[in-house]
Amino acid sequence: MSQITYITEQGLEKLKKELDRLMNVERPSISKLIGEAIEKGDISENAEYDAAKDAQGMLEAKIVELQAKIANARILDKSKINTSKVQILNRVKIKNRNTNTVMEYLIVPESEANLKEGKISYTTPIAKGLIGKKVGDVVEIKVPSGVIPFEIMQISL
């Protein structure tokens, strides 16, 4: 049984583009490599053929995985997201009470997390600790370096 994946419209579009690339660029490329290796003769001891077949197997597995993710994707509706409490697709400004450092994160589905862009997965310790809390709440979140108190300063879309 496949697992439902919550995703934004942009995230789903990204998955579809990746699937299209794998099926229409990578798959023909690997098929060509296999054909060239077969033309070289005996495939029983042909390292190029073995490598191409391995690459084909990995590619096909990735295609199946992407197809399953797309088939089981449920688009998150931004119009139903509010800012009274922290939830997925909220932008949250928090202050580390120990260092007075202010950080801002967008809480997103796991497949769209990208720390460089300030997007953290709802499955991370920080996001888990923030979800359901309101502006002004102070939450103590256990992270690898210990327990850190964070104050929620702002919740937005």
Task: Please give the pLDDT value at position 1.
Answer: 46
- What's the rounded Cα separation, in Å, for the pair 52 and 54? 5
One domain, residues 107 and 46: no
pLDDT, tens digit (0-9, with 9 covering 90-100), for 118-145: 999 999 999 999 999 999 999 999 988 8
Q: Pick from 75, 93, 127: which residue ends a domain?
A: 75
Q: Which residues of 114-149 are buried (b: 16+ CB within 10 A; e: fewer)?
A: eeeeeebbbebebbebbbebeeeeebebeeeeeebe
Helical spans, DSSP H, in 77-155? 125-130
The β-bridge partners of 6 are 74
86: closest CA among 126, 144, 116?
Answer: 126
Residue that terminates a domain, selected from 25, 57, 75 = 75
Same domain, 26 and 64: yes
Does pTM surpass 0.75? no
User: Regarding predicted confidence, which is higher, 148 or 41?
Assistant: 148
Q: Is the pLDDT of residue 2 over 80?
A: no
* Contact residues for 138 (Cβ-Cβ < 8 A; gap 6+): 97, 149, 150, 151, 152
Range of the domain at 20: 5-75
Same domain, 69 and 83: no
* Residue 3, pLDDT above cutoff 70: yes
Do 68 and 91 share a domain, yes or no?
A: no
